[in-house]
Chains A and B, each alone.
Chain A
Amino acid sequence: MAGKWRWMAAAIGLFALPGAALASSDGGCTPRWKLVNRAGDCANRAMLAPGNDTRVNLMLLLRSRSGLTSAGLTYPDEGWEGEGLGHTFLDWRSMRLAFYPAKGERGEEPAFSGSRCASLTLATPTFKQALGAAFDVSQAERSALIEARAGLEAVCSSGSAAAAAQWPAGISSAGGQAWLGYLKGSHAFYAGRWDEARGAFAGLRTARDAWLAETAAYMLGRVDLNAAIEKSFGDYGNFQGAKATDRAALGRATAALAAYLQRYPQGRYAASAQGLQRRVLWLSGDVAGLAREYERLLGSVRADSADAALLVQEVDHKLLFPDGEAQALVGGGALLQAVAALLDLRSHDRWGDARSVPGLSAAALGARQQALAADPELAGFIAASEAFYGAGDMRRVLALIPDDARRTSFPELAFSRQMLRGLALAALGDRNEAGFWREMLGGAKGLWQRPTVELALAMNLERSGKLAEVFAAGSSITDSSLRIILLGHSASPGILRAQALDKTRPAEERRAALYALLDKQLARGDYAGFGESLKIRLPAPAEDTNTSELLRAFTAGTWSDGYPCPAIAETARRLAANPTDSASRLCIGEFRRINGFDATDRYDRPPAKDELGGASDMFPGKSLMRGDIYASVMADARAPANDKAYALYRAVMCYAPGGHNACGNADVPKALRRAWFERLRREHPSSPWTQRLRYYW
């Protein structure tokens, strides 16, 4: 995380200049490096899982059903935002970028995008063209009408319904009057005066001009759709769900859209009107109708087009989480019911609270089984998922999913099935687990698939005491992210040294190995080894990485900013000769403090037992934290007075300025910090460190 600010917030006073605010929080994703994913974190697995984003699960299913392969596609470059995910995990964003890479800049959003005003500027050319073709309107009238239409924009810009319109004088022809009437209807529509808009468009349905008549008929649907949602939004601009919809207006919209499509089945707005009918289903709270429509669209959309991603996003937003909270799914076919079944297995909501899903009614359960029955492979996977995540019945998983690991490629569903089988083998401690993963490696060619299988295999090797296999020549574990985690948390000094020197491995991996080696040798007291390791020099990268920055501290760091210390190499040399030398011990603390190592405690806090790197640490010894150093020096009878004073000073400063311990060891009670403070003043009244310390925290 070094050198990085996430979620910076600048507050710019606007009107009254109130207090500025600076929010800081970690907006990136730090995944848990394990495969079982029931809780739902920010990192999705390439296999269907309860904890995955519902959009990711639906997209995996959609692509799998279409027989699409992601082999040959490249991992997206997400910049720092995707950094923590490696090639093992994905999120909705990286998935879209990988499957549907943008071709060049996408260009501007239309003006007023996201509101009904979007059509105002988008349709300007169409309006001009239609008016130009109106033979019964004079040139002068046309110019005046076009100018009047441009004037409508004020309604949208101001957001004020009261914006008065300026209508041209001298529109006298019958044709011109009809167009003027249309503009008045439009003005009322954009200003939200529904009755007036409805009246204007209703009268124009029989206009002589075909474009006017058709457009007015279509606009009637839009008028009442907008009227229907007028009171649907809460104080925070949030949609409040179907319950807030104006039913009478929605009924009128339904009728108007149906009438339009009946009269103009191939009309210029037919596609839009059909889309608006879907909106009606959403606004009326007709979950089953909406699910039916989405299942139909999922069956017809091209899974290799970006439209698929838009559809999946819409399904998620309108059907699965209609007002930000999960909604029980009624209806829909196999795809939607599979996504819903996985969501039901999710153990925690996105706030981290345990999630309790009321059991399905017998009828709903029957409907789900019936929907899934259309796709036996998927039905088997869902049943196995319920056994795995729900009942914890691993033998049933094995019974439901036969071994099919030796494939040449894995569509997403087949991949998910075999991954689940492998995880069941792991849970059972099956002695063939590693062999199963090795077989899968042959066909795991899709994006994220191979690193996923490698994670499974690496965890198995780590847990069975075969870490050396991970780092042996020709190892199956090729993914750098996985290797770097194991180098940092698990590897022995011998492995670290060999990996740092291995010219066949990527430079960042070698740097990670060397950093872990130096950091641990210094922290765990192998001072002679540290001196040897310092002689290893790796080429510097063109642009600094997290690890290269840290590594540089060992050769070109800052050694001292008050308490005198030599270079860290010399400090280590002295400690190799005399490990209890208090000045040198303090200098280790100085090195860690000044060069920012307090904030990079990544190797001192192992991952959880069920995560990669959490099984065991083959590096001997226990890290000496800064706080431990100060405690030992202040208790050391042979330590010079100045060293003792400095140890007391630093021990108190560990808790500055907020009372949080920055020195890595366990927190001590405030009374003890006070005792240090008082001891410093009592025993070392004239020490410069005593003079400098005015508080304790």
Chain B
Amino acid sequence: MRCLAVFALLALAACGAPRDGRVDPRDHDTFFLWAGVRPPPVLAQARTVYILAGEVRGDNREALVPLRAEVPRVQHAEVWLTLRAERLDWSAAVYRDLERQLAQWQAANPRLAGLQIDFDAKTRGLEGYAEFLGKLRAPAPALSPVSDRADGLVRKWRSRRARPAGRCGR
């Protein structure tokens, strides 16, 4: 079974998380819910929940592999549909399935806030990232407008590429 399942999403402050001792989930209101995990009670106090819906694996660009048995229906918090991706050259079928899922999630979650892509790859894999963002908008009208914050993130990543990545914690 996977080692890490639910963790408090501390955004950039993740690097400033306590070095010793553990994060107390009660101190947070934003959470990431992994697949295959019993949702912990602390989610009741969440203001935002990122919910892992599926993944595109490195060995198959044509499949969005579902990781959640049913469409969530969260009323009390803002919800982000999260996809984990090991590659970005998705086939049309993946975009098609993503669009469908977004429609279903939107119908069932009054506060669906957005789509989050966890891109899990080497820095070098970032080359195709801008093109990927463009594609993500193009076929899916529901995905526009895309915030220019996303582009800001791209810039942020690029500007930090030159440095060897620091590690969070020990």
Residue ranges of A at the interface with B (Cβ–Cβ < 8 Å): 1-18, 20-27, 40-42, 53-54, 79-81, 97, 102, 105-109, 111-115, 157-160, 233-239, 316-317, 321, 323-325, 350-352, 549-550, 596, 598-600, 605, 658-660
Contact = CB atoms under 8 A, between A and B. Distances in A.
Contacts of B49: 236
A323 to B, nearest CB: 6
User: How extensive is the interface on chain B, given as a class?
Assistant: 35 or more
A204 B140 CA distance: 41
Given A5-B121, A21-B116, A114-B66, 15 more contacts: A3-B122, A3-B123, A9-B116, A10-B116, A11-B116, A12-B146, A20-B147, A24-B12, A113-B66, A115-B66, A236-B43, A238-B38, A350-B3, A596-B163, A596-B164
Contacts of B103: 157-159
A94 B114 CA distance: 32
B26 interface: no
Given A25-B7, A26-B168, A321-B36, A8 B70 contact: no
A323 B14 CA distance: 29
B37 A22 contact: no
Contacts of B123: 3-5
B145 A17 contact: yes
A190 to B, nearest CB: 13
A102 B59 contact: yes
Given A111-B96, A111-B97, A159-B107, A236 B112 contact: no
Contact of B153 (A10, A596, A605): A10
A226 to B, nearest CB: 11
A24 B7 CA distance: 11
14 contacts: A1-B164, A3-B165, A4-B123, A7-B118, A8-B118, A8-B120, A10-B119, A40-B3, A97-B59, A106-B63, A113-B63, A238-B39, A325-B38, A600-B164
Contacts of B14: 23-25
B80 to A, nearest CB: 7
A106 B43 CA distance: 37
B45 interface: no
A1 B61 CA distance: 26
A387 to B, nearest CB: 26
B12 A350 contact: no
A27 B84 CA distance: 11
B114 A13 contact: yes
Nearest to B44: A235
Contacts of A550: 164
A107 B93 CA distance: 10
B3 A42 contact: yes
B73 interface: yes
Contacts of A17: 114, 145, 147, 149
A58 B100 CA distance: 36
B39 A321 contact: no
Interface in B128-170: 129, 133, 136, 142-143, 145-147, 149-150, 152-154, 156-157, 161, 163-168, 170
B136 A23 contact: no
B15 A658 contact: yes
Closest 7 CB pairs of A and B: A13-B147, A159-B104, A14-B114, A114-B66, A2-B164, A596-B164, A20-B149
Given A109-B93, A160-B107, A235-B72, A54 B119 contact: no
Interface of B: 1-5, 7, 9, 11-12, 14-16, 19, 22, 30, 32-33, 36-39, 43, 49-51, 58-66, 68-75, 78, 80, 82, 86, 91, 93, 96-97, 100, 102-104, 106-108, 112-123, 126, 129, 133, 136, 142-143, 145-147, 149-150, 152-154, 156-157, 161, 163-168, 170
Nearest to A159: B104
Nearest to A349: B1
Contact of A237 (B30, B51, B170): B51
A81 B117 contact: no
B59 A106 contact: yes
Contacts of A20: 147, 149-150, 152-153
B119 A22 contact: no
A8 B38 CA distance: 24
Interface centre among B5, B33, B39, B129 (most CB of A within 10 A): B39
A159 B12 CA distance: 35
B4 A350 contact: yes
Contacts of B121: 5, 8, 80
B165 A1 contact: yes
B16 A660 contact: yes
Contact of B122 (A79, A325, A599, A658): A79
Contacts of B96: 111
A108 B1 contact: no
A119 to B, nearest CB: 15
Given A11-B149, A111-B96, A235 B73 contact: yes
Contact of A5 (B9, B78, B117, B157): B157
Contacts of B154: 10
A605 B149 CA distance: 38
A215 to B, nearest CB: 26
A592 B74 CA distance: 49
Contacts of B68: 236-238
Contacts of B64: 109
Given A7-B118, A317-B36, A81 B58 contact: yes
B149 A5 contact: no
A111 B96 CA distance: 9
Contacts of A112: 100
A81 B86 contact: yes
A106 B62 contact: yes
Nearest to A544: B124
A603 to B, nearest CB: 14
A12 B166 contact: no
Given A3-B164, A159-B71, A321-B36, A105 B11 contact: no
Contacts of B168: 24-26
A111 to B, nearest CB: 7
Given A106-B62, A108-B62, A350-B3, A324 B165 contact: no
B74 A235 contact: yes
A352 B22 CA distance: 10
Contacts of B7: 25
